[in-house]
A and B are shown apart, each in its own frame.
Chain A
Amino acid sequence: MTRGAAGRAGAPWLAIRKELPGRRPAVLKAMAFVLPLVVWSAVSYLPFLWHPMILVTDPGASGFLQVDDRLPEAEFAAENAHLAAAGARAAAGVAANPIFLPAPHEVARALYTGFTTEPVRPGEPWLHQSLGHSIRIIFWGFMLAAAIGVPLGLLCGTFALFSRLVEPFTDFIRYMPAPAFGALAVAVLGIADAPKVAIIFIGTYFQMVLVIANTTRQFDPALIEAAQTLGARRSKLLTRVIVPGVLPNLYNDLRILLGWAWTYLIVAELIGATSGISYFIQQQGKYRNYDKVFAGIIVIGVVGLVTDQVLAYLARYLFPWQATALSPRERRVRRWLTALRRRAPALAPPPAPVGTGNVAAD
């Protein structure tokens, strides 16, 4: 072992506002997921830890016990005492957890079978179809909110006129819970997907305007002044300075708001004709298939996490001036993205109009 490696091994685990050395961050990141899984497995597979229920394997001579019944230990003991007193054959069972806490392998199996088994009733969606439906609802709701909310937020953060006109009312509506609009949305938009998109929209749009307005207001005014002394006027200031300047923060705001959209999804999907992943979870809950309920919840978590990680990763290419050092492979991807941007003129800034000298305009 080299001296450097030894030094790292001896580094403190608790250093205020310092990144951990070596592989520790990666290990801890993995542990963040492994530890809860270990706890879950321990509770599931070690009978002496919890297991407050008895899963009946043989009802014996009992009149009401059946195979696969789950009941509290005390009730099971009472029934067996009752049977013993009557001289009948005792029931047999194994210690088990309540039905709402399936073991990891059961959930894993449910995850797999959820995607591979045909729906119970013909015409019902498959799990992946439900998930696709949910993602579509989120996508349209969030895109509509962003299409209006981002420009309006930028205007509010830039011009006092828009801020004074828009923000007080937006702030007022923000306090109304989006689900409260459910009945109204169905009455106006019918029972199909439209009211669901509307709930996602209502849940994110009003927050978005205020958050983005605030982000825009925090933009360094000195940069605006610098641009003004370089000849930038109102519209150019907005498009060439404020927008590119706030873009990284705005992108992060949208990432956080996208998470909010997922929290409104469950409510949105229960409005009108129940659909999507929530429908799947609700149905499975009704059938007491809690392994599948967990599978559905985990699917939402995974989709959310993956989306967020992809967006975070993408930010490093979109905003290279903020990026920490990129690996060679990452640099290749960036070159490719840059080439793509060059080929798509819509993404490039518009050419400046050809004008005359600068002093005359000054």
Chain B
Amino acid sequence: MSRPIDLPDYRRPPSAVAARMERIRDRPVVLEARGLSKAFAAPAGSIAALTGIDLTIHRREFVCVIGPSGCGKSTLIRLVAGLEEPTDGSILLEGREVHGPGPGRGMVFQSYTLFPWLTVRGNVEFGLRLTGRRPAEAAEEAASWIELVGLSRFADAYPSQLSGGMKQRVAIARALANRPRILLMDEPFGALDAQTRCQMQGYLLEIWHNVEVTILFITHDLDEAVYLGDRIVVLDTQPGRVREVIEVPLPRPRDTDQFLDPFFLATRYHIEELIHSPEGRRPEALAVRASSALAQEVL
């Protein structure tokens, strides 16, 4: 296969980026998945959604997970969140095994999931009140989180009165207010239009820059993954397993100009190749099988 333009090797980042990755690796591990597998019961036996996923995420790291649809991205994040129990393997949060959901792993869903009966303030206070803050304390903390996502003017609005982007900012504030060790984001901008999505990516990077938090981010958007992540976990499909973990060779802080950076394009190109030609099912093999099937039909 030949590339349309000459691109650098994504595995040989600029030295500043390499040094940064080195520093990240030295940081303590926040989340570790060991041999994570998940199988779902089906009429004809069980179907393996994920097999033997190993993943280590360091403090303040931004890790994106990408893969073709049906590769088990969402299953992976739901396992980490504790919303599903793994068939095999374990999840360790700061070295301790966790079962079931808890406030140490905040989650932002694609479908917003704001509580419609609570105002923006009420939504952000929700977790704070559950984890034992006094009402006045919770209100004060919630106000500062709402300010961080730039929605102070809408603190008393109900979710139904907000746009999609605003709702997702509330959801982020609500999750961050609990000071989770890791923030899990399941295609959070998937339901937004392209322009709002781009804006939200900028917001998220800004928030991540200002707040001490580690992020595991699921997406199906290549540009989004490369733009946001320190590392990208590329999943393979059926059964879902880690195909490759890519260190993004781009310096921080990131900005939209980097969409044209040769390293950005190289990384993006490589991931595209990975996703569109899954191992063991090369396009040539498929073509041969298809033609022989056709031949049989003709005969």
Contacts and interface: CB of A to CB of B under 8 A. Distances in A.
A358 B101 CA distance: 12
Interface stretch (B18-26, B33-41, B113-121, B203-211): B113-121
Interface in B131-162: 131-135, 158-160
Contacts of A355: 131-132
Say which size band chain A's interface belongs to: 20 to 34
Interface string B101-112: 111111101010
Contacts of A236: 130
Given A223-B115, A355-B132, A228 B101 contact: yes
B174 interface: yes
Nearest to B184: A229
Contact of B131 (A220, A244, A358): A358
B158 A230 contact: no
B126 A230 contact: yes
A240 interface: yes
B142 to A, nearest CB: 13
A222 B74 CA distance: 13
A361 B130 contact: no
Interface in B170-202: 174-175, 178-179, 181, 184
A351 B103 contact: no
A145 to B, nearest CB: 25
Given A358-B178, A359-B94, A230 B106 contact: yes
A40 interface: no
A362 B102 contact: yes
B131 A231 contact: yes
B127 interface: yes
Interface string B88-108: 000001100010111111110
Contacts of A353: 132
A124 interface: no
Nearest to A321: B158
A229 B116 contact: no
B282 to A, nearest CB: 38
A225 to B, nearest CB: 5
A359 B113 CA distance: 23
Contacts, number: 104
A230 B104 contact: no
Contacts of B93: 359, 362
B130 A354 contact: no
A358 B141 CA distance: 15
Contacts of A227: 115, 126
Contacts of A361: 102-103, 131
A300 B105 CA distance: 56
A327 B271 CA distance: 55
B158 A232 contact: no
A43 interface: no
Interface in B16-62: none
B132 A356 contact: yes
A41 B135 CA distance: 63
Contact of A223 (B106, B113, B129, B174): B113
A320 interface: yes
B245 interface: no
B83 A229 contact: yes
A240 B98 CA distance: 24
A177 to B, nearest CB: 38
Contacts of B118: 244, 321
A225 B130 contact: no
A247 interface: yes
A319 interface: yes
B81 interface: yes
Nearest to B104: A362
A357 B105 CA distance: 14
A60 interface: no
A354 B181 CA distance: 21
A229 B178 CA distance: 10
Contact of B117 (A228, A319, A352): A319
A245 B181 CA distance: 28
B22 to A, nearest CB: 27
Given A244-B117, A362-B98, A230 B103 contact: yes
17 contacts: A220-B113, A222-B113, A225-B81, A225-B109, A228-B101, A229-B103, A229-B107, A231-B131, A231-B178, A321-B117, A321-B158, A322-B116, A352-B130, A357-B131, A358-B104, A362-B93, A362-B181
Report, nearest first, the 5 A-B pairs whose CB atoms are least far apart.
A362-B104, A231-B103, A362-B102, A355-B132, A230-B127
Interface of A: 220, 222-223, 225-232, 236, 240-241, 244-245, 247, 319-322, 351-359, 361-362
